[in-house]
Amino acid sequence: MPSSTPLPLSTPVPPSTPSPASPPAPQLDVAGALLDLLREATTEPRPDVQLEALTLAVAADLPVLLWGEPGIGKTAALTQLAASLDLPLTTVIASVHEPSDFSGLPVIGDDPAVQGVPMAPPDWAVRLVRAGRGLLFLDELSTAPPAVQAALLRLVLERRIGSLHLPPAVRIVAAANPRSSAADGWELSPPLANRFVHLQWVHDHEVVVRGLGGIWPRATLPRLDPAKLTEAVAHARRAVCGLLAARPKLVHQLPTSESRRGGPWASPRSWEMALRLIAFATAAGSAHDVLSLLVRGTVGDGPGLELLASMDRMDLPDPEVLLADPDGVELPERGDLRHVVLDGVVAAVRARPDKDRWDAAWAVLARALETGAPDLVVVPATTLAALRRDDWEVPASIERLAGAVALSRRADAAGARVPVGGKAGR
């Protein structure tokens, strides 16, 4: 029997050559990936009065100037606005440019005596014209010297740079720091300041916290109602023309102090801008706070507040209409406007006293008591009661008002005694 050869328990495997380790990624690439993650952010629809005012002025094709302290987020807001509107953003730091960069550089042609000397525009202006649309951001405007500010006048008003004319789809927004916090800051010249809608840009704590978490407010253009366009224009013209007809001194008010001349002030140009903004705000159904920012940022606080007050009175119901149909009364919800309406009703009765009109006025006051704060009817009710004649019977509606008037007077008397009692107890 032949002998068998013993089999090895395991077949030896030749040693394998180790594969070379892949080289580690460069640290700058890793840092870039981390930066990309930090830049990731989304937007959400969120009420923001100053952002809505900015987008409304941009839609109205008016130059806007954002005032705010350094680091407040003006540049970030403009960057996000351009991205939301799908507009290419062109940023120009006004203070590092020469006046010729905005007025154009003279270029001598073949025959200057015949063709003249054209003014060549800068490259960024050429890019805007080629794109046909865009958002031109003039940053650090308050650090631009007076010569540069003078060169910007034609750019901001006429949109001309040298021999180029910017397309209608290009919008202009600027930003500036107050002189106290600007690097080598200058006051804006009155002619340049009068060409802008001035908006004070402040930070909102909740917006900043949520934005640092990756969610910022969404900037969208206002939705204009096509059915309201004609009405909006008529309303804006009636508001501005009605005020200036009654207050002609408001047409042109150049501030006396140098600092105030660099802000919004009233002129025929700025009133035309205010009229346009009122029309756009009316067509968009914007809130009162948004319109207030825009109007005061165009003609100044004083004239702007007068215009807003006159617009509130424009929308108030006619006292004669209320007296004719007291059962169908719809009074304003705002307390100040309701007080004006009730005073107007009482004044109408005083001007033409009549028993039926007196009774109707009491019905209006009773309606105001049912739908609003009782204290608003105290003064009108007291004045109306003083108009009663001896032969006029007291209407039943007075009974509903008597308790409110008495209660309000007791509350006023008690409130007047609180400080005295507080002092005595110390």
Distance of alpha carbon 275 from alpha carbon 237, whole angstroms = 6
Distance of alpha carbon 157 from alpha carbon 63, whole angstroms = 8
Pairing between β-strand 164-165 and β-strand 160-161 as defined by DSSP bridges:
antiparallel
Residue 216: strand pairing partners: 43
Q: What is the distance between the terminal CA atoms of the chain, rounded to a whole angstrom?
A: 127
- pTM beyond 0.85: the answer is no
Instruction: Work out the number of other CB atoms within 10 angstroms of the CB of residue 244.
Output: 18
Pairing between β-strand 89-93 and β-strand 134-139 as defined by DSSP bridges:
parallel
Instruction: Work out the number of other CB atoms within 10 angstroms of the CB of residue 387.
Output: 14
181 touches 69 (CB < 8 A): yes
The CA-atom distances, in angstroms, between 317 and each of 242, 323, 332 are 17, 11, 9
pLDDT in tens, 3-45: 555 545 555 556 656 555 556 668 898 999 999 999 888 888 8
Sequence length of the chain is 426
Domain 43-105+118-217 has CATH 3.40.50.300: yes
**pLDDT attached to residue 17:** 60
pLDDT in tens, 296-311: 999 999 999 999 988 9
Comparing CA positions, the residue from 58, 67, 57, 76 lying closest to residue 188 is: 67
Q: By 3-state DSSP, what share of the chain in percent is helix, strand and coil, each rounded to 5?
A: 55, 10, 35
| Structural tokens at position 376 | 């608003």
Domain boundaries, the chain: 43-105+118-217, 226-314, 319-424
The CA-atom distances, in angstroms, between 175 and each of 161, 287, 370 are 20, 24, 49
277 touches 264 (CB < 8 A): no
Any idea what DSSP says for residue 144?
Answer: S
> Which residues, given as ranges, of the chain have pLDDT below 50?
7, 407-408, 410-412, 414-415, 418, 420-426
**pLDDT attached to residue 407:** 46
**pLDDT attached to residue 330:** 82
Distance of alpha carbon 234 from alpha carbon 275, whole angstroms = 10
Judging by beta carbons within 10 Å of its beta carbon (0-12, 13-18, 19+), is residue 4 exposed, middle or buried?
Answer: exposed
**pLDDT attached to residue 411:** 45
What is the C-alpha radius of gyration for the chain, rounded to an integer number of angstroms? 34
Q: What b/e readout covers 203-237, taking b as 16+ CB neighbours within 10 angstroms?
A: ebeebeeebeeeebbebeebebeeeeeeebbebbe
365 touches 331 (CB < 8 A): no
**pLDDT attached to residue 334:** 80
**pLDDT attached to residue 21:** 56
**pLDDT attached to residue 421:** 45
Residue with tokens 């070379």: 20
54 touches 199 (CB < 8 A): yes
